Structure formats: structure tokens, C-alpha cells
């Protein structure tokens, strides 16, 4: 399988190179040249498979040119054995035909573990084969950083630099990153917001000369195709658990960078019956405004109680635009360049085509707290603020109550104790046993100004072979 850039000017690459490259040389994101497609009969035959067995069926077509089947199976078994539930992604029922899929049973209590536990193993495999070293550079609004560090900290051939917005992630999120020891782990707190961090990451991938030609950058953000690939699996998992593929499913996805919901779109393109995808977001609602009014326009970023969605520039939306614009890289590039200076729209028929599948809702903090409270009072089930936004959006946008509606439960409530306390249901949600001493662990991080040269100089001086 070959991978092409959403902006049409970079060379097509195989899986190994896409894994290590991240951002394409033309500034675009890599997507498969074509997708595998599974028949209903084939999907039906996967009923009863374990999560790792299902993951092999869904993902192997994307990697078969790079990783032998037995090696990939072993990698997947190792990846999902570290999850704290035998089902890996258990489904919890809230009401008639209404479910939450718990994607927070991994080591860092967030859905990012599904992809990043695998990504670390893929990187180790490929880098060992090539005898190559890379520097991982990533930006996080809270969850990606800890999942990336946990997934890649044992990799022999990497240094890890994670940028997070200073004092704009929850204390649990920060400590999950900054208390992990290792000479190859570097946490950088940027005096700015997530979009500032993400822009510096993209600029660094565009010009890597600050590394002196001695190594290269690798991506752990959802610009890395391997992240998206791993997230496709749990849409198949949920469907098969609830009667699919003989019945269609609807999903509500709390999203900021659009990667998790784009994976659902791909699952549908690969043959899984999905009738509706709900974009659930907070006050940073650029995706909702585009979907509801065909106007893509950046506003000032706001700080909310759902910080993992405090994102205004949704990187993975470019991957969907690529399909919406007929896979025309020139049009994608032109539209996104125009969007940097003002609002943009797409042709009305393309926008209406998108709306056949997607709905959206933007939920404010007070409504989020009310949703946490309502679900706890009715079900004695505690939601984190992001999942609460997903459940509320699902109820606002649901088209057909005969179709199962599954909200992706993206994080454990203990990661956001302030939001849970504000809802008034629990004063302090408990951390799982393996993190019970988190607040006693020593932290290590460096606070830097929002300045690209300063960050790049720090990285050049601190990777282990510098």
C-alpha cells in the first residue's frame, strides 16, 4: 500500500517511511492511496474475535508491505495486554440503545493509548531493523503527551520531546507526563496555548536543520497515519458487539483535532455500516460552525473544563477535506492557505454531502457539568467532561432511536477532578491503583517561552546524541 499527501506535491511513500516521516514535505498529511474494503460477510465472520485478533484483521492491509504477519500479531498482543480490562474497550449502557464505549482502560487512562501503545512498538521494530535513531516531537492538549511517553519511553532508538501549554492542562494530565523518568524523556511547558505548540511542531517538521543532520523528527500527534489506523479498530469492535454489521450504528465523538472521528469516517469507507457521526465539541467550536454553516473561521481559543478539546486548528480535518474536494491537493492547499487570513467555505454541494453523515454540537461548561450530574444521578456512572460533551451532543443530534448510539468515552474522570467537582457529584474521583501515588512522584519539566528558536535550541542541546 502506498500513501499520498493531502497537498499533492510530496512523493508517495510506503508504510515504514510514513511512520517515521509524520508530516509530508509539502506540508500535507499522508493518507492511503486507496482503502481496503470489507464485505458484510467478512465483517460478520469476525464476531467473537478478541480485540487484538480484530485489530489484525482491520489493520494488516495497511502494514503488510512492511511488517510480517506473525510479527504484527505479536505486536498487537503485547499492545492490548497492558489494558486493564479483558474486553479492552468495554461498552456500558446508559439507556435504550445508548452506550458509552470506554476507551480509557489503557495505562494513561485515555483513548490515545490505543494508538500510542502500538506506535511505540512499531517505531522500535522499524528503527531496530534500520539501525536508525529519531527524535519524537509532539504537542499535546493533555492526553497525547502522557500516552506517547508511556508508549515510547522504552524505545531504544528515540528521544521524546513533548510540548504542552503551561498551566492549561489538568494537574493529573501534567503529572502523568512529568513524573515519568528517563534520560530520553523531555517535557516542555510552553507559555501559550495548544495551537501555539502545534504550530511549532509543524514548523519544526518543515525545517529540521536545527538537528544538524544527525537525526530526524518523528511524529506522535495524530498527523501520524499510524495513530489514525489504530483508532479505526474500535468502531468495528463496538459494531460487532451490538449486532453489526447487520444493523447500522451511530457514534458521537468528543473531538478537537478531528483524528478520532476521522477514523470512524474511514471505518465506514472500509465497509462498516455507520449511519451518523456526531462531532461533539466545546466552546472552541470551529468544526461545529463549519458543519452547521459552511464557514471555516478561526476564533480566539478559549480555556474550558474540557482542555483536551481546547483546539482551534483541527489538523486532521485536512484529511477529510482532501476527500470532500475530490482528492485534489492543490484545492486543499489553496483553501487552507486562505483560511489563515479569514473565513472560507466549500462548494454547497460538497458541504451538503458532508452533512449526510456528520452532525455536530458545541457544549458549554455549565451544560457539561449538568450532563455529568444527570448521568450520575440516573445511572451512578461518572463521566469525564469530554465524554459528557459526547453524550450531550449525541442526545441533541440523534436522528433515529432505533439505531444504537455509541459515545466514545475518551478519558477517565479522575484525569479531570476539577470538572467533576464542579458538577457537584463527587469531590475527588479516585485514580486507579497503578496511579495511586501520582501526586507523590517527583516532576521534571522545563518552562519555555512561545518561541520556535528557543524550543529548537533546547531540543538540539538535549537529545542524547547531541
Active site (catalytic) residues: 112
The owner of cell 490515545 is 112
Asked if residues 286 and 314 have their Cβ atoms less than 8 Å apart, the reply is yes
Q: Nearest 5°: phi and psi at 464?
A: -65, -20
Asked if residues 6 and 28 have their Cβ atoms less than 8 Å apart, the reply is yes
Cα–Cα distances in angstroms (integers) from residue 37 to residues 79, 235, 390, 443, in the given order: 25, 15, 28, 46
The owner of cell 475527588 is 428
Sign of CA dihedral 365, 368, 373, 376: negative
Which residues partner with 43 through β-bridges? Answer: none
**C-alpha R_g of the chain:** 21
Cα–Cα distances in angstroms (integers) from residue 254 to residues 393, 423, 440, in the given order: 9, 18, 31
Q: How far apart are CA 315 and CA 219, in angstroms?
A: 13
Q: How far apart are CA 169 and CA 437, in angstroms?
A: 19
The owner of cell 492557505 is 337
Helices 194-206, 452-462: crossing angle, 10 deg rounding: 60
Asked if residues 383 and 368 have their Cβ atoms less than 8 Å apart, the reply is no
Q: How far apart are CA 279 and CA 289, in angstroms?
A: 11
Amino acid at each position: 500500500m502506498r500513501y499520498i499527501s493531502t497537498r499533492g506535491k510530496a512523493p508517495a511513500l510506503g508504510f515504514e517511511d510514513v511512520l517515521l516521516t509524520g508530516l509530508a514535505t509539502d506540508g500535507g498529511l499522508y493518507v492511503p492511496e486507496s482503502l481496503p474494503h470489507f464485505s458484510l460477510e467478512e465483517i460478520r465472520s469476525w464476531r467473537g474475535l478478541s480485540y487484538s485478533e480484530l485489530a489484525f484483521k482491520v489493520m494488516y492491509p495497511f502494514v503488510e508491505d512492511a511488517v510480517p504477519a506473525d510479527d504484527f500479531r505479536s505486536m498487537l498482543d503485547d499492545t492490548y495486554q497492558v489494558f486493564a480490562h479483558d474486553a479492552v474497550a468495554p461498552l456500558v449502557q446508559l439507556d435504550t440503545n445508548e452506550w458509552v464505549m470506554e476507551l480509557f482502560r489503557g495505562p494513561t487512562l485515555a483513548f490515545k493509548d490505543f494508538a500510542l501503545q502500538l506506535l511505540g512498538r512499531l517505531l522500535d521494530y522499524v528503527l531496530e531493523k534500520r539501525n536508525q535513531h529519531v527524535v519524537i516531537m509532539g504537542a499535546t492538549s493533555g492526553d497525547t503527551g502522557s500516552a506517547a511517553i508511556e508508549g515510547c519511553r522504552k524505545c531504544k532508538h528515540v528521544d521524546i520531546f513533548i510540548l504542552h501549554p503551561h498551566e492549561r492542562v489538568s494537574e493529573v494530565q501534567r503529572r502523568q507526563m512529568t513524573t515519568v523518568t528517563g534520560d530520553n524523556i523531555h517535557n516542555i511547558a510552553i507559555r501559550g496555548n495548544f495551537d501555539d505548540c502545534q504550530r511549532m511542531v509543524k514548523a519544526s517538521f518543515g525545517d529540521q536543520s536545527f538537528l544538524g543532520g544527525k537525526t530526524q523528527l518523528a511524529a506522535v500527534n495524530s498527523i501520524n497515519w499510524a495513530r489514525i489506523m489504530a483508532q479505526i479498530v474500535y468502531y468495528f469492535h463496538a459494531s460487532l458487539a451490538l449486532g453489526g454489521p447487520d444493523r447500522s450504528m451511530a457514534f458521537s465523538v468528543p473531538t478537537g483535532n478531528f483524528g478520532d472521528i476521522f477514523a470512524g469516517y474511514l471505518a465506514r469507507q472500509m465497509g462498516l455500516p455507520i449511519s451518523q457521526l456526531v462531532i461533539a465539541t466545546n466552546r472552541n467550536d470551529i468544526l461545529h460552525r463549519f458543519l452547521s454553516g459552511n464557514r471555516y473561521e478561526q476564533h480566539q481559543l478559549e480555556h474550558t473544563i474540557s482542555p483536551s478539546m481546547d483546539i482551534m486548528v483541527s489538523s486532521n480535518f485536512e484529511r477529510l477535506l482532501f476527500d470532500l474536494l475530490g482528492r485534489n491537493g492543490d484545492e486543499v492547499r489553496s483553501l487552507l492557505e486562505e483560511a489563515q487570513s479569514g473565513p472560507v467555505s466549500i462548494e454547497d454541494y460538497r458541504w451538503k454531502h458532508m452533512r449526510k453523515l456528520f452532525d455536530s454540537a458545541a457544549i458549554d461548561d455549565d451544560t457539561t457539568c449538568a450532563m455529568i450530574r444527570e448521568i450520575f444521578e440516573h445511572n451512578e456512572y461518572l463521566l469525564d467532561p469530554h465524554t459528557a460533551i459526547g453524550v450531550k451532543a449525541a442526545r441533541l443530534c440523534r436522528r433515529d432511536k432505533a439505531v444504537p448510539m455509541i459515545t466514545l468515552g475518551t478519558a477517565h474522570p479522575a484525569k479531570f477532578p476539577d470538572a467533576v467537582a464542579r458538577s457537584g457529584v463527587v469531590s475527588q474521583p479516585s485514580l486507579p491503583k497503578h496511579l495511586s501515588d501520582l501526586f507523590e512522584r517527583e516532576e521534571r519539566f522545563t518552562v519555555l517561552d512561545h518561541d520556535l528558536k528557543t524550543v529548537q535550541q533546547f531540543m538540539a542541546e538535549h537529545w542524547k546524541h547531541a
